[in-house]
Structure 1
């Protein structure tokens, strides 16, 4: 379950327009230091792709992708779903972007079990 929540919280993004996604595009490092991801458009959605995973982390691997379909709810705040094809699971997700910091919240079990993850932009 922890792995599922980590992937869900990992990133969450998929927007109504690509202009909305501009603030999230790029490289991000997870706050625990165990992962780095690249956020970029993928078709009409946004994908978060693991580009680096700390050695010895058994539940994730480089190349894992989360496909997000989200919409803005206010300035820098987004909400929607994220699909994890590696696990064939869809999560509720929310994202808050403030400059070079981002917080993602992934939820499973109808929103009863959630996890927040902090991110820092890599320049």
Structure 2
């Protein structure tokens, strides 16, 4: 929700509209909210968010909901340096999660390249 457009402005309309996302989270917990599986987890489907009264273009909604595997791969590459600051005190499960994330991102990138 903190993504910016090409002009450097936040795409999401504002802090007060975060309740729309929280509603989706509650819907998910109750087994009703639709989601799209991505390499980084589940994100709301376009239809799952109550966007009544919000003026978002399709491009803006894509910016908010789409997962760019290249961008996330770059972000994920920064995690090991942070983890290493904990000098062996970090639970192995966090390293395992990072490895699994990296693998999902690699698979998504390979699938995109194969489709091009």
Q: TM-score, normalised by structure 2?
A: 0.25
Q: TM-score, normalised by structure 1?
A: 0.24
Bigger Rg, structure 1 or 2: 2
Bigger helix fraction: 2
Bigger strand fraction: 1
